[in-house]
Amino acid sequence: MNTPLIDPFARAITYLRVSVTDRCDFRCKYCMAEHMTFLPKADLLTLEELDRLCSNFVELGVRKLRITGGEPLVRRGIMEFFRAMSRHLVSGALEELTLTTNGSQLKRFAGELADCGVKRVNVSLDTLDVAKFADVTRWGRLPQVLEGIAAAKAAGLRVKINAVALKGFNEDEQFSLTEWCAAEGHDLTWIEVMPMGEMGEENRLDQYWALSDLRARYAARYSVSDLTERTGGPARYVRLEETGQKIGFITPLTHNFCESCNRVRLTCTGELYMCLGQEDMADLRAPLRQSSEDAVVKAAIREAITHKPKGHDFDYSRRSVEGQMRRHMSHTGG
């Protein structure tokens, strides 16, 4: 029962992204509608249930566990879950425990995260302009996030900045954000905006800035070298020779990364999505709650992996949004 998870296209599934909450203290315009209806708290898996599910995945060969949301650090008692997961680091069964965060709560939790064996964090940060940050996040405060990033660095956590490339919003900050990351010692990854959820007044095509254009701008200013390095996720990396820093590109639209996909996503209600860009999912909450036997849970996980598709269908090339998902990113996990 503990043989590795292999999908129908011979890809080993070694990376699990776990959304522990759909709630967030920001309302970023590319991620959420301004007035969200969140899941009833009674629908969420308990921390103990999340522990049991994740532990079964680890026993089935998952080596990297990324905690996401929503904003994972707003979930009550979340550090109990990190402490529980750290036992798999100690045993050697898990190679990496990490998280993606908006940084708002990092000042409060950075030290505890480091104590749990977290070595690095991804922080979502699209602009260094106070007014623009307040606008794109609707509720966010940039100084609070910068303090959190500084606290993470002081705690010994490696910080990678994730910036969503937004046309007409942060195009003019490409180099200033890059130079700030170089000065602070942070890696930087750019992400194309994905068609996830209804955004109300926000138009996906108006937001979309192809990373092929962004990369060309780097090449006009720096000496850019391609790197073969992979960190277990979808990013492809280059090095800017003048600064020595690593820049990542996550390009689900201009150059999808499906051929090497090694990940699945677990929501806070126990839904397992085999692909971010497909609606097909498996309910793991039912077998989890129906039986105390982990063999039942493992069988449900294995069955779900047999339905993992070859790839997603995101496409903006025809000036329409193809492959759009009804669910918001915060539901599946960022």
For residue 105, tell me if it sits in a domain. yes
pLDDT computed for residue 232 by the predictor: 60
Task: Please give the tally of structural domains in the chain.
Answer: 1
Question: Which run of H or of E encompasses 114?
Answer: helix 106-115
For residue 294, tell me if it sits in a domain. yes
Residue with tokens 């405060």, as numbered in its chain: 141
pLDDT computed for residue 95 by the predictor: 97
Q: Measure the CA–CA gap between 173 and 166, rounded to whole angstroms.
A: 10
Q: Residue 28, annotated ligand binder? A: yes
Q: Residue 1, annotated ligand binder? A: no
pLDDT computed for residue 34 by the predictor: 82
Q: Residue 281, annotated ligand binder? A: no
For residue 237, tell me if it sits in a domain. yes
For residue 4, tell me if it sits in a domain. no
Q: 75-106 burial string, b = 16+ CB within 10 Å, else e?
A: beebbebbebbbebbeeeebebbbbbbbbbbb
* Partners of residue 227 on adjacent β-strands: 237
Q: Are 88 and 39 in contact (CB under 8 A)?
A: no
Average of per-residue pLDDT across 321-326:
48
Q: Residue 24, annotated ligand binder? A: yes
Give me the DSSP letters along 244-291. TEEEEEE-TTTS--GGG--EEEE-TTSEEES-TT---EEE-HHHHHH-
* 36-50, 145-159, 248-262, 292-306: range with lowest mean pLDDT: 248-262
Higher-pLDDT residue of 323, 64: 64
For residue 236, tell me if it sits in a domain. yes
Residue 234's pLDDT band (boundaries 50, 70, 90)? confident
Q: What would the two tokens of residue 37 be?
A: 């209806």
Q: Measure the CA–CA gap between 329 and 324, rounded to whole angstroms.
A: 11
For residue 10, tell me if it sits in a domain. no
Average of per-residue pLDDT across 264-282:
89
Residue with tokens 């509608």, as numbered in its chain: 33
pTM of the model: 0.88
pLDDT in tens, 84-127: 999 999 999 999 999 999 999 999 999 999 999 999 999 999 99
pLDDT in tens, 173-204: 999 999 999 999 999 999 988 664 454 445 55
Average of per-residue pLDDT across 219-233:
87
**Crossing angle between the packed helical segments 78-91 and 106-115, to the nearest 10 degrees:** 30
Higher-pLDDT residue of 235, 197: 235
For residue 110, tell me if it sits in a domain. yes
Strand order, beta sheet including 158-165: 224-227, 236-240, 245-250, 187-192, 158-165, 120-124, 96-101, 64-68, 15-19, 263-266, 271-273, 281-283
pLDDT computed for residue 276 by the predictor: 73
**Crossing angle between the packed helical segments 174-184 and 211-221, to the nearest 10 degrees:** 70
Average of per-residue pLDDT across 203-221:
85
Q: Measure the CA–CA gap between 186 and 240, rounded to whole angstroms.
A: 13
Q: Residue 30, annotated ligand binder? A: yes
For residue 303, tell me if it sits in a domain. yes
pLDDT computed for residue 30 by the predictor: 82
Q: Residue 70, annotated ligand binder? A: yes
Q: Residue 116, annotated ligand binder? A: no
pLDDT computed for residue 260 by the predictor: 75
pLDDT computed for residue 309 by the predictor: 86
Q: Give me the amino acid identity at 236.
A: R
Q: Residue 194, annotated ligand binder? A: yes
Higher-pLDDT residue of 255, 99: 99
Q: Measure the CA–CA gap between 122 and 137, rounded to whole angstroms.
A: 17
Give me the DSSP letters along 218-235. HHHHS-EEEE----SSS-
Provide the residue range defining the domain that includes 131.
15-332
Q: Residue 258, annotated ligand binder? A: yes
For the chain, the average pLDDT equals 88
pLDDT computed for residue 165 by the predictor: 93
For the cut 60, the answer to whether the pLDDT of residue 265 exceeds it is yes
Q: Residue 54, annotated ligand binder? A: no
Average of per-residue pLDDT across 289-301:
97
For the cut 90, the answer to whether the pLDDT of residue 238 exceeds it is yes
Average of per-residue pLDDT across 263-291:
92
pLDDT computed for residue 36 by the predictor: 84
pLDDT in tens, 19-78: 999 999 999 888 888 888 888 888 899 999 999 999 999 999 999 999 999 999 999 999
Q: Measure the CA–CA gap between 267 and 263, rounded to whole angstroms.
A: 13
Residue with tokens 């701008």, as numbered in its chain: 217
CATH of the domain at 78: 3.20.20.70
Give the angle subtended at the CA of 28 by the CAs of 326 and 277, to the nearest 5°.
30
Q: Residue 160, annotated ligand binder? A: yes
Other Cβ atoms within 10 Å of 227 Cβ, number = 12
